[in-house]
Structure 1
Amino acid sequence: MAAADDLLLIAAAAREAGAIALRYFRNNPRRWTKGVSSPVTEADIAVDDFLSARLRAARPDYGWLSEETADGPERLDRARVFVVDPIDGTRGFIEGDRRWTVSIAVVEHGRPVAAALYAPALDELFEARTGGGATLGGRPLALATPPALDAAHIAGPRRQAKLLGTRAPDFVPSLAYRIALVATGRIDVAIAGPNAQDWDIAAADLIVAEAGGLLADLDGAPPRYNRSDPRHPALVAAAPALQHAVAAALGRGHGA
Protein backbone atom coordinates (compact mmCIF):
# COMPACT_ATOMS: atom_id res chain seq x y z
CA MET A 1 0.00 0.00 0.00
CA ALA A 2 1.44 3.38 -1.04
CA ALA A 3 2.06 6.06 1.58
CA ALA A 4 -0.11 8.42 -0.47
CA ASP A 5 -3.09 6.08 -0.07
CA ASP A 6 -2.41 5.72 3.63
CA LEU A 7 -2.28 9.48 3.98
CA LEU A 8 -5.70 9.90 2.36
CA LEU A 9 -7.09 7.31 4.78
CA ILE A 10 -5.61 8.73 7.98
CA ALA A 11 -6.30 12.37 7.12
CA ALA A 12 -9.99 11.62 6.59
CA ALA A 13 -10.08 9.54 9.78
CA ALA A 14 -8.40 12.32 11.76
CA ARG A 15 -11.07 14.81 10.70
CA GLU A 16 -13.88 12.42 11.60
CA ALA A 17 -12.25 11.63 14.93
CA GLY A 18 -11.89 15.34 15.61
CA ALA A 19 -15.61 15.84 15.09
CA ILE A 20 -16.28 13.14 17.70
CA ALA A 21 -13.90 14.75 20.19
CA LEU A 22 -15.47 18.18 19.72
CA ARG A 23 -18.78 16.86 21.05
CA TYR A 24 -17.08 16.49 24.43
CA PHE A 25 -14.81 19.54 24.37
CA ARG A 26 -15.81 22.16 26.97
CA ASN A 27 -18.79 19.94 27.78
CA ASN A 28 -17.59 18.46 31.09
CA PRO A 29 -16.64 14.97 29.87
CA ARG A 30 -16.27 12.17 32.37
CA ARG A 31 -12.65 11.81 33.39
CA TRP A 32 -10.39 9.57 35.47
CA THR A 33 -6.71 8.87 36.04
CA LYS A 34 -4.61 6.01 34.71
CA GLY A 35 -1.24 5.08 36.13
CA VAL A 36 0.12 7.63 38.57
CA SER A 37 -1.20 10.88 37.15
CA SER A 38 -2.20 10.56 33.48
CA PRO A 39 -5.70 11.93 32.82
CA VAL A 40 -8.19 10.17 30.54
CA THR A 41 -11.65 11.27 29.43
CA GLU A 42 -14.55 9.54 27.77
CA ALA A 43 -13.60 11.52 24.66
CA ASP A 44 -10.19 9.77 24.50
CA ILE A 45 -11.91 6.39 24.56
CA ALA A 46 -14.62 7.32 22.04
CA VAL A 47 -12.02 8.59 19.58
CA ASP A 48 -9.78 5.57 20.12
CA ASP A 49 -12.68 3.17 19.53
CA PHE A 50 -13.63 5.00 16.32
CA LEU A 51 -10.08 5.07 14.95
CA SER A 52 -9.41 1.45 15.83
CA ALA A 53 -12.54 0.31 14.02
CA ARG A 54 -12.04 2.54 10.99
CA LEU A 55 -8.32 2.09 10.39
CA ARG A 56 -7.97 -1.57 11.26
CA ALA A 57 -10.89 -2.48 9.02
CA ALA A 58 -9.27 -0.57 6.15
CA ARG A 59 -5.79 -2.08 6.72
CA PRO A 60 -6.25 -5.40 8.57
CA ASP A 61 -2.62 -6.39 7.97
CA TYR A 62 -1.25 -3.30 9.76
CA GLY A 63 -0.23 -3.34 13.40
CA TRP A 64 -1.75 -1.04 16.02
CA LEU A 65 -0.18 1.07 18.77
CA SER A 66 -2.36 3.58 20.59
CA GLU A 67 -2.13 5.35 23.92
CA GLU A 68 -5.61 4.14 24.87
CA THR A 69 -5.39 0.52 23.66
CA ALA A 70 -3.68 -2.27 25.60
CA ASP A 71 -0.37 -2.99 23.88
CA GLY A 72 0.87 -6.39 22.77
CA PRO A 73 3.77 -7.93 20.86
CA GLU A 74 1.79 -8.59 17.66
CA ARG A 75 2.63 -5.17 16.19
CA LEU A 76 6.37 -5.89 16.29
CA ASP A 77 6.02 -8.43 13.46
CA ARG A 78 3.96 -6.18 11.17
CA ALA A 79 5.54 -4.40 8.20
CA ARG A 80 3.42 -1.32 8.82
CA VAL A 81 1.87 -0.05 12.04
CA PHE A 82 -0.68 2.63 12.89
CA VAL A 83 0.64 4.79 15.74
CA VAL A 84 -2.21 6.77 17.29
CA ASP A 85 -2.88 9.27 20.04
CA PRO A 86 -6.67 9.77 20.11
CA ILE A 87 -6.32 13.06 21.98
CA ASP A 88 -2.82 14.40 22.46
CA GLY A 89 -2.92 17.09 25.13
CA THR A 90 -5.70 15.64 27.28
CA ARG A 91 -4.91 17.99 30.16
CA GLY A 92 -5.35 20.97 27.86
CA PHE A 93 -8.54 19.39 26.48
CA ILE A 94 -9.94 19.13 30.01
CA GLU A 95 -8.96 22.72 30.82
CA GLY A 96 -10.59 24.09 27.67
CA ASP A 97 -7.33 24.91 25.87
CA ARG A 98 -7.87 24.55 22.10
CA ARG A 99 -4.34 23.27 21.40
CA TRP A 100 -5.03 19.52 21.48
CA THR A 101 -4.78 17.14 18.56
CA VAL A 102 -5.71 13.82 17.02
CA SER A 103 -2.39 12.26 15.97
CA ILE A 104 -2.08 9.39 13.47
CA ALA A 105 1.04 8.03 11.79
CA VAL A 106 1.86 5.00 9.69
CA VAL A 107 5.27 3.59 10.63
CA GLU A 108 7.35 1.32 8.42
CA HIS A 109 10.82 -0.05 9.29
CA GLY A 110 10.95 2.10 12.41
CA ARG A 111 10.14 5.46 10.78
CA PRO A 112 6.88 7.28 9.94
CA VAL A 113 5.92 7.27 6.25
CA ALA A 114 2.52 9.00 6.47
CA ALA A 115 1.19 11.40 9.09
CA ALA A 116 -2.00 13.30 9.84
CA LEU A 117 -2.23 15.66 12.80
CA TYR A 118 -5.53 17.44 13.33
CA ALA A 119 -6.30 20.20 15.83
CA PRO A 120 -10.12 20.11 15.73
CA ALA A 121 -10.79 23.17 17.91
CA LEU A 122 -8.52 25.19 15.60
CA ASP A 123 -9.54 23.35 12.41
CA GLU A 124 -5.88 22.86 11.47
CA LEU A 125 -4.91 19.72 9.57
CA PHE A 126 -1.24 18.89 9.09
CA GLU A 127 -0.37 16.18 6.57
CA ALA A 128 2.91 14.61 5.45
CA ARG A 129 4.27 11.60 3.62
CA THR A 130 7.80 10.49 2.96
CA GLY A 131 9.19 12.35 -0.02
CA GLY A 132 5.90 14.16 -0.57
CA GLY A 133 6.39 17.17 1.67
CA ALA A 134 4.30 18.51 4.52
CA THR A 135 1.23 20.72 4.38
CA LEU A 136 -1.05 22.66 6.69
CA GLY A 137 -4.53 23.10 5.30
CA GLY A 138 -3.19 21.99 1.94
CA ARG A 139 -0.48 24.66 1.85
CA PRO A 140 3.15 23.46 1.67
CA LEU A 141 5.35 23.93 4.72
CA ALA A 142 9.05 24.77 4.53
CA LEU A 143 11.35 26.00 7.29
CA ALA A 144 12.96 29.38 6.85
CA THR A 145 16.51 30.25 7.91
CA PRO A 146 16.52 29.83 11.70
CA PRO A 147 17.54 32.56 14.16
CA ALA A 148 20.46 32.31 16.54
CA LEU A 149 19.80 30.30 19.68
CA ASP A 150 19.57 33.37 21.93
CA ALA A 151 16.83 34.80 19.69
CA ALA A 152 14.89 31.56 19.15
CA HIS A 153 11.23 31.20 20.09
CA ILE A 154 11.13 28.03 22.18
CA ALA A 155 8.19 25.87 23.27
CA GLY A 156 8.70 23.20 25.88
CA PRO A 157 9.21 22.48 29.57
CA ARG A 158 10.56 25.40 31.64
CA ARG A 159 13.34 23.27 33.08
CA GLN A 160 15.01 22.90 29.69
CA ALA A 161 14.67 26.61 28.95
CA LYS A 162 16.50 27.37 32.17
CA LEU A 163 19.37 25.17 31.01
CA LEU A 164 19.45 27.10 27.74
CA GLY A 165 19.56 30.41 29.59
CA THR A 166 16.63 31.76 27.56
CA ARG A 167 13.37 33.30 28.63
CA ALA A 168 10.62 31.00 29.86
CA PRO A 169 9.21 29.17 26.84
CA ASP A 170 5.66 28.81 25.69
CA PHE A 171 4.06 25.60 26.89
CA VAL A 172 1.81 23.92 24.33
CA PRO A 173 -0.24 21.12 25.97
CA SER A 174 -0.20 18.82 22.93
CA LEU A 175 3.37 17.66 22.40
CA ALA A 176 2.54 16.66 18.83
CA TYR A 177 1.19 20.14 18.08
CA ARG A 178 4.20 21.74 19.80
CA ILE A 179 6.55 19.86 17.49
CA ALA A 180 4.47 20.47 14.37
CA LEU A 181 4.49 24.22 15.01
CA VAL A 182 8.20 24.16 14.15
CA ALA A 183 7.21 23.24 10.58
CA THR A 184 5.03 26.36 10.38
CA GLY A 185 7.69 28.77 11.65
CA ARG A 186 5.43 29.93 14.49
CA ILE A 187 8.08 28.65 16.88
CA ASP A 188 11.72 27.88 16.23
CA VAL A 189 12.38 25.10 18.73
CA ALA A 190 10.15 22.49 20.35
CA ILE A 191 11.49 20.47 23.27
CA ALA A 192 10.10 17.16 24.53
CA GLY A 193 11.19 16.02 27.96
CA PRO A 194 12.22 12.41 28.58
CA ASN A 195 9.65 9.61 28.25
CA ALA A 196 7.60 10.91 25.34
CA GLN A 197 6.11 7.86 23.66
CA ASP A 198 5.67 6.82 20.03
CA TRP A 199 2.09 8.08 19.85
CA ASP A 200 3.09 11.52 21.13
CA ILE A 201 5.64 12.23 18.43
CA ALA A 202 5.50 9.95 15.36
CA ALA A 203 3.14 12.06 13.23
CA ALA A 204 4.77 15.36 14.17
CA ASP A 205 8.22 13.91 13.50
CA LEU A 206 7.40 13.32 9.83
CA ILE A 207 5.70 16.71 9.47
CA VAL A 208 8.81 18.50 10.70
CA ALA A 209 11.15 16.31 8.63
CA GLU A 210 9.21 16.89 5.41
CA ALA A 211 9.26 20.65 6.07
CA GLY A 212 13.07 20.53 6.26
CA GLY A 213 13.50 20.25 10.01
CA LEU A 214 14.83 17.63 12.39
CA LEU A 215 13.46 15.92 15.48
CA ALA A 216 16.29 14.12 17.28
CA ASP A 217 17.70 13.28 20.68
CA LEU A 218 20.58 15.14 22.31
CA ASP A 219 23.06 13.02 20.34
CA GLY A 220 21.42 13.91 17.04
CA ALA A 221 19.73 10.54 16.49
CA PRO A 222 16.17 10.61 15.08
CA PRO A 223 13.62 8.48 16.98
CA ARG A 224 12.96 4.89 15.98
CA TYR A 225 9.40 3.64 16.29
CA ASN A 226 7.53 0.38 16.85
CA ARG A 227 10.08 -1.04 19.26
CA SER A 228 9.07 -3.12 22.25
CA ASP A 229 9.50 -0.04 24.48
CA PRO A 230 7.78 3.01 22.94
CA ARG A 231 9.46 5.54 25.25
CA HIS A 232 12.06 8.06 24.09
CA PRO A 233 14.74 10.26 25.70
CA ALA A 234 14.60 14.06 25.61
CA LEU A 235 14.09 15.32 22.06
CA VAL A 236 14.51 18.61 20.22
CA ALA A 237 12.76 19.71 17.02
CA ALA A 238 14.09 22.62 14.95
CA ALA A 239 15.88 23.45 11.71
CA PRO A 240 18.94 21.13 11.64
CA ALA A 241 21.61 23.68 12.60
CA LEU A 242 19.51 25.08 15.42
CA GLN A 243 18.52 21.59 16.58
CA HIS A 244 22.19 20.68 16.95
CA ALA A 245 22.91 23.90 18.89
CA VAL A 246 19.99 23.37 21.29
CA ALA A 247 20.79 19.67 21.77
CA ALA A 248 24.43 20.49 22.52
CA ALA A 249 23.42 23.15 25.05
CA LEU A 250 20.95 20.81 26.77
CA GLY A 251 23.51 18.02 26.78
CA ARG A 252 26.04 20.25 28.51
CA GLY A 253 23.39 21.31 31.02
CA HIS A 254 22.77 17.68 31.91
CA GLY A 255 26.46 16.99 32.25
CA ALA A 256 26.63 15.08 28.97
Structure 2
Amino acid sequence: MKQRIVTGVIGGAVFVLMTVLGGWYYYGLLLLLAITGFGEYARMNGLRWHHPASLIGFAGMFVVLIPWDALGLAQPNAIHTLWLLLFLLLTITVFTKNDMTIDGAALLLLGALYVGYGFHAMFEVRNADSHGLLMSCAAFGAIWASDIGAYFVGRTIGKHKLWPSISPNKTIEGSLGGVVLSMAVAVMFSFAAPDAIHLDKALMIGLVAAVAGQLGDLIQSAYKRVRGIKDTGAILPGHGGVLDRCDSWLVVFPLLVMTGLVPLS
Protein backbone atom coordinates (compact mmCIF):
# COMPACT_ATOMS: atom_id res chain seq x y z
CA MET A 1 0.00 0.00 0.00
CA LYS A 2 2.85 2.40 0.85
CA GLN A 3 4.42 1.81 -2.55
CA ARG A 4 1.08 2.41 -4.23
CA ILE A 5 0.60 5.71 -2.38
CA VAL A 6 4.13 6.94 -3.13
CA THR A 7 3.79 6.09 -6.82
CA GLY A 8 0.36 7.71 -6.97
CA VAL A 9 1.53 10.94 -5.34
CA ILE A 10 4.67 11.31 -7.47
CA GLY A 11 2.97 10.25 -10.69
CA GLY A 12 -0.03 12.44 -9.98
CA ALA A 13 2.14 15.48 -9.26
CA VAL A 14 4.09 15.05 -12.50
CA PHE A 15 0.89 14.58 -14.49
CA VAL A 16 -0.78 17.64 -12.97
CA LEU A 17 2.32 19.77 -13.61
CA MET A 18 2.55 18.72 -17.26
CA THR A 19 -1.19 19.29 -17.72
CA VAL A 20 -0.95 22.82 -16.31
CA LEU A 21 2.09 23.62 -18.45
CA GLY A 22 0.29 22.26 -21.50
CA GLY A 23 1.70 22.58 -25.00
CA TRP A 24 4.58 20.33 -25.92
CA TYR A 25 5.31 19.52 -22.26
CA TYR A 26 1.91 17.86 -22.03
CA TYR A 27 2.24 16.26 -25.46
CA GLY A 28 5.64 14.84 -24.50
CA LEU A 29 4.11 13.16 -21.47
CA LEU A 30 1.22 11.77 -23.54
CA LEU A 31 3.69 10.52 -26.15
CA LEU A 32 5.67 8.69 -23.46
CA LEU A 33 2.46 7.16 -22.07
CA ALA A 34 1.32 6.14 -25.56
CA ILE A 35 4.63 4.46 -26.42
CA THR A 36 4.61 2.57 -23.13
CA GLY A 37 0.92 1.71 -23.43
CA PHE A 38 1.20 0.34 -26.96
CA GLY A 39 4.26 -1.65 -25.90
CA GLU A 40 2.15 -3.19 -23.14
CA TYR A 41 -0.61 -3.92 -25.65
CA ALA A 42 1.79 -5.66 -28.03
CA ARG A 43 3.29 -7.69 -25.19
CA MET A 44 -0.19 -8.70 -24.02
CA ASN A 45 -0.68 -10.16 -27.48
CA GLY A 46 2.56 -12.14 -27.39
CA LEU A 47 4.75 -9.78 -29.44
CA ARG A 48 8.06 -8.14 -28.58
CA TRP A 49 8.35 -4.44 -29.33
CA HIS A 50 10.85 -5.05 -32.15
CA HIS A 51 8.72 -7.59 -34.02
CA PRO A 52 7.98 -6.22 -37.54
CA ALA A 53 4.24 -6.24 -36.85
CA SER A 54 4.77 -4.36 -33.57
CA LEU A 55 6.89 -1.75 -35.34
CA ILE A 56 4.18 -1.21 -37.95
CA GLY A 57 1.63 -0.94 -35.14
CA PHE A 58 3.82 1.63 -33.38
CA ALA A 59 4.12 3.60 -36.63
CA GLY A 60 0.35 3.55 -37.11
CA MET A 61 -0.18 4.65 -33.52
CA PHE A 62 2.22 7.57 -34.04
CA VAL A 63 0.40 8.72 -37.17
CA VAL A 64 -2.89 8.77 -35.27
CA LEU A 65 -1.30 10.44 -32.25
CA ILE A 66 0.56 13.24 -34.05
CA PRO A 67 -1.12 16.67 -33.57
CA TRP A 68 -1.02 17.62 -37.24
CA ASP A 69 -2.93 20.88 -36.79
CA ALA A 70 -0.65 22.05 -33.99
CA LEU A 71 2.33 21.43 -36.25
CA GLY A 72 0.72 23.36 -39.09
CA LEU A 73 0.54 20.25 -41.26
CA ALA A 74 -2.33 18.80 -43.26
CA GLN A 75 -4.21 16.01 -41.47
CA PRO A 76 -3.82 12.71 -43.37
CA ASN A 77 -7.04 11.16 -44.64
CA ALA A 78 -8.28 8.92 -41.82
CA ILE A 79 -9.61 6.13 -44.04
CA HIS A 80 -6.46 6.12 -46.16
CA THR A 81 -4.29 5.94 -43.06
CA LEU A 82 -6.23 3.06 -41.53
CA TRP A 83 -6.30 1.16 -44.82
CA LEU A 84 -2.54 1.55 -45.32
CA LEU A 85 -1.92 0.33 -41.77
CA LEU A 86 -4.24 -2.62 -42.41
CA PHE A 87 -2.44 -3.42 -45.67
CA LEU A 88 1.01 -3.33 -44.08
CA LEU A 89 -0.07 -5.55 -41.19
CA LEU A 90 -1.68 -8.05 -43.55
CA THR A 91 1.52 -8.06 -45.60
CA ILE A 92 3.40 -9.19 -42.49
CA THR A 93 1.17 -12.29 -42.35
CA VAL A 94 2.50 -13.24 -45.80
CA PHE A 95 6.18 -12.59 -45.11
CA THR A 96 6.06 -14.45 -41.79
CA LYS A 97 4.19 -17.35 -43.43
CA ASN A 98 1.31 -16.92 -41.00
CA ASP A 99 3.56 -16.85 -37.95
CA MET A 100 1.76 -13.52 -37.56
CA THR A 101 -1.86 -14.47 -38.20
CA ILE A 102 -4.63 -12.29 -39.59
CA ASP A 103 -6.11 -12.28 -36.07
CA GLY A 104 -2.87 -10.83 -34.72
CA ALA A 105 -2.80 -8.21 -37.47
CA ALA A 106 -6.36 -7.17 -36.61
CA LEU A 107 -5.46 -6.86 -32.92
CA LEU A 108 -2.55 -4.52 -33.68
CA LEU A 109 -4.75 -2.37 -35.91
CA LEU A 110 -7.24 -2.17 -33.04
CA GLY A 111 -4.48 -1.28 -30.57
CA ALA A 112 -3.00 1.46 -32.75
CA LEU A 113 -6.40 3.17 -32.97
CA TYR A 114 -7.30 2.56 -29.32
CA VAL A 115 -4.06 3.93 -27.88
CA GLY A 116 -3.23 6.49 -30.57
CA TYR A 117 -6.54 8.30 -30.78
CA GLY A 118 -7.20 8.04 -27.05
CA PHE A 119 -4.09 10.04 -26.20
CA HIS A 120 -4.53 12.29 -29.25
CA ALA A 121 -7.98 13.30 -27.97
CA MET A 122 -6.46 14.23 -24.59
CA PHE A 123 -4.05 16.58 -26.35
CA GLU A 124 -6.84 18.01 -28.50
CA VAL A 125 -8.85 18.93 -25.42
CA ARG A 126 -5.89 20.51 -23.59
CA ASN A 127 -4.78 22.35 -26.73
CA ALA A 128 -8.27 23.71 -27.49
CA ASP A 129 -8.47 27.39 -28.36
CA SER A 130 -10.93 28.08 -25.56
CA HIS A 131 -10.62 26.90 -21.94
CA GLY A 132 -8.43 23.87 -22.76
CA LEU A 133 -6.97 23.57 -19.26
CA LEU A 134 -10.35 24.02 -17.60
CA MET A 135 -12.00 21.40 -19.82
CA SER A 136 -9.14 18.95 -19.25
CA CYS A 137 -9.39 19.42 -15.49
CA ALA A 138 -13.17 19.00 -15.58
CA ALA A 139 -12.88 15.78 -17.59
CA PHE A 140 -10.13 14.28 -15.43
CA GLY A 141 -11.88 15.44 -12.28
CA ALA A 142 -15.11 13.74 -13.34
CA ILE A 143 -13.29 10.52 -14.28
CA TRP A 144 -11.41 10.36 -10.97
CA ALA A 145 -14.57 11.25 -9.05
CA SER A 146 -16.31 8.31 -10.71
CA ASP A 147 -13.50 5.99 -9.60
CA ILE A 148 -13.57 7.33 -6.04
CA GLY A 149 -17.36 7.25 -5.78
CA ALA A 150 -17.59 3.74 -7.18
CA TYR A 151 -14.91 2.47 -4.78
CA PHE A 152 -16.23 3.95 -1.54
CA VAL A 153 -19.94 3.51 -2.24
CA GLY A 154 -19.29 -0.05 -3.38
CA ARG A 155 -17.33 -0.86 -0.24
CA THR A 156 -19.93 0.77 2.01
CA ILE A 157 -23.27 -0.40 0.64
CA GLY A 158 -22.47 -2.47 -2.44
CA LYS A 159 -24.40 -5.75 -2.52
CA HIS A 160 -25.35 -6.46 -6.12
CA LYS A 161 -22.51 -7.45 -8.45
CA LEU A 162 -22.22 -5.37 -11.60
CA TRP A 163 -20.38 -7.85 -13.84
CA PRO A 164 -18.87 -10.63 -11.75
CA SER A 165 -17.48 -12.64 -14.66
CA ILE A 166 -15.30 -9.69 -15.68
CA SER A 167 -14.71 -7.64 -12.53
CA PRO A 168 -15.96 -9.48 -9.43
CA ASN A 169 -15.45 -6.59 -7.00
CA LYS A 170 -17.56 -4.00 -8.80
CA THR A 171 -21.15 -3.47 -7.70
CA ILE A 172 -24.20 -1.78 -9.15
CA GLU A 173 -24.43 0.47 -6.09
CA GLY A 174 -20.80 1.46 -6.51
CA SER A 175 -21.30 2.18 -10.19
CA LEU A 176 -24.25 4.45 -9.48
CA GLY A 177 -22.29 6.17 -6.72
CA GLY A 178 -19.54 6.85 -9.24
CA VAL A 179 -22.04 8.40 -11.67
CA VAL A 180 -23.48 10.69 -8.99
CA LEU A 181 -20.10 11.90 -7.72
CA SER A 182 -18.78 12.38 -11.25
CA MET A 183 -21.75 14.57 -12.18
CA ALA A 184 -21.44 16.48 -8.90
CA VAL A 185 -17.78 17.29 -9.57
CA ALA A 186 -18.55 18.37 -13.13
CA VAL A 187 -21.27 20.67 -11.79
CA MET A 188 -18.73 22.22 -9.42
CA PHE A 189 -16.65 23.20 -12.44
CA SER A 190 -19.77 24.75 -13.95
CA PHE A 191 -20.35 26.82 -10.82
CA ALA A 192 -16.70 27.91 -10.84
CA ALA A 193 -16.74 28.92 -14.52
CA PRO A 194 -20.35 29.22 -15.72
CA ASP A 195 -19.39 31.10 -18.89
CA ALA A 196 -17.12 28.25 -19.97
CA ILE A 197 -19.17 25.23 -18.87
CA HIS A 198 -22.94 25.59 -18.78
CA LEU A 199 -24.78 23.48 -16.24
CA ASP A 200 -26.44 21.19 -18.78
CA LYS A 201 -23.12 20.53 -20.48
CA ALA A 202 -21.43 19.88 -17.12
CA LEU A 203 -24.05 17.27 -16.25
CA MET A 204 -23.46 15.52 -19.57
CA ILE A 205 -19.68 15.64 -19.16
CA GLY A 206 -20.04 14.03 -15.74
CA LEU A 207 -22.40 11.38 -17.10
CA VAL A 208 -20.18 10.50 -20.05
CA ALA A 209 -17.05 10.49 -17.88
CA ALA A 210 -18.65 8.09 -15.41
CA VAL A 211 -20.47 5.70 -17.76
CA ALA A 212 -17.84 5.59 -20.51
CA GLY A 213 -15.02 5.60 -17.95
CA GLN A 214 -16.45 2.60 -16.14
CA LEU A 215 -16.95 0.84 -19.47
CA GLY A 216 -13.34 1.60 -20.35
CA ASP A 217 -12.26 -0.02 -17.10
CA LEU A 218 -14.44 -3.07 -17.78
CA ILE A 219 -13.09 -3.35 -21.33
CA GLN A 220 -9.54 -3.53 -20.02
CA SER A 221 -10.57 -5.98 -17.28
CA ALA A 222 -12.25 -8.22 -19.84
CA TYR A 223 -9.20 -8.19 -22.07
CA LYS A 224 -6.84 -9.00 -19.21
CA ARG A 225 -9.05 -11.96 -18.27
CA VAL A 226 -8.84 -13.25 -21.82
CA ARG A 227 -5.05 -12.98 -21.67
CA GLY A 228 -4.87 -14.40 -18.14
CA ILE A 229 -2.95 -11.50 -16.63
CA LYS A 230 -3.53 -9.26 -13.60
CA ASP A 231 -1.87 -6.08 -14.88
CA THR A 232 -0.92 -4.80 -18.33
CA GLY A 233 2.56 -3.90 -17.07
CA ALA A 234 4.68 -3.05 -14.04
CA ILE A 235 6.04 0.40 -14.87
CA LEU A 236 3.97 2.02 -12.09
CA PRO A 237 4.79 0.17 -8.84
CA GLY A 238 1.61 -0.73 -7.03
CA HIS A 239 -0.56 0.44 -9.93
CA GLY A 240 0.39 -1.87 -12.78
CA GLY A 241 0.90 -0.55 -16.29
CA VAL A 242 -0.07 2.51 -18.28
CA LEU A 243 -3.14 0.82 -19.76
CA ASP A 244 -4.27 -0.13 -16.24
CA ARG A 245 -4.22 3.54 -15.20
CA CYS A 246 -5.41 5.15 -18.45
CA ASP A 247 -8.15 2.73 -19.51
CA SER A 248 -10.93 5.19 -18.66
CA TRP A 249 -9.17 8.16 -20.25
CA LEU A 250 -8.69 6.36 -23.56
CA VAL A 251 -12.46 6.00 -23.91
CA VAL A 252 -13.79 9.16 -22.27
CA PHE A 253 -11.76 11.82 -24.09
CA PRO A 254 -12.55 10.64 -27.63
CA LEU A 255 -16.26 10.58 -26.75
CA LEU A 256 -16.12 14.08 -25.26
CA VAL A 257 -14.51 15.34 -28.47
CA MET A 258 -16.84 13.45 -30.84
CA THR A 259 -20.00 14.54 -29.02
CA GLY A 260 -18.88 18.16 -28.97
CA LEU A 261 -19.23 18.32 -25.19
CA VAL A 262 -15.71 19.72 -25.13
CA PRO A 263 -15.38 22.31 -27.93
CA LEU A 264 -11.98 22.48 -29.59
CA SER A 265 -12.34 25.98 -30.99
Flag whether TM exceeds 0.5 (same fold).
no
Q: Which has the higher contact order (CA 8 A, sep 6+)?
A: 2
Higher helix share: 2
TM-score (norm 2): 0.27
Q: Which has the larger radius of gyration?
A: 2
TM-score (norm 1): 0.28
